[in-house]
A = this chain, B = another copy of it.
Amino acid sequence: MLTKTTEYAIRALIFIQARNLKGERPRLPEIAEGSNAPVHYIGKILQTLVRHRLLASAKGPGGGFFFAKNVPSISLFDVIRLMEGEAFFHRCGFGLNNCSVENPCPAHDQYREIRELYLEKVTRLTIADLAERVNEGKAYLDV
């Protein structure tokens, strides 16, 4: 399961992208409201995303958050990897650090299947796709 922080990040990115697709550039307070996260906290999170170039921002009047044009949309995988760390995707289901094919935990194979499905999904899902679904009224971000 993702941490709250990562969930906020994903929701905020989808919200920003949805607005960007409509030609808007949302500012922090709107993003916080739209993604149901505390303003200052989401501020910090977006700051991290910008620092790592998953997102762009502009200060001052007319500023806000936006995605760079002509850059392929980031995937959920990109966001999760940044927020949770690469290890998140390889973690043993039972929390064992040694867990591997040679030294498997008792549910190694079963968890592998789940992880693989998960990885496949989050790699395919892009923020842009998800934002489009929101703009089309097919999906919602309200808590």
Among the listed stretches A22-30, A47-55, A63-71, A125-133, which one makes contact with chain B, having 4 or more residues with CB under 8 Å of it?
A125-133
**Is the beta-carbon distance between B117 and A114 smaller than 8 angstroms?**
yes
Name A residues whose Cβ lies closer than 8 Å to a Cβ of B. Answer: 1-2, 4, 7-8, 10-11, 14, 36, 76, 88, 91, 93-98, 103-108, 110-111, 113-114, 117-118, 121, 125, 129-131, 133-134, 138-143
> Which residues of the other chain, B, contact A93 by a CB distance below 8 angstroms?
2
Give which listed residue, B104, B105, B117, B139, contacts A117 with CB less than 8 A: B117
10 nearest A-B pairs in the assembled complex, by CB-CB distance: A106-B130, A7-B95, A106-B139, A1-B1, A110-B121, A106-B133, A97-B143, A103-B140, A104-B139, A114-B118
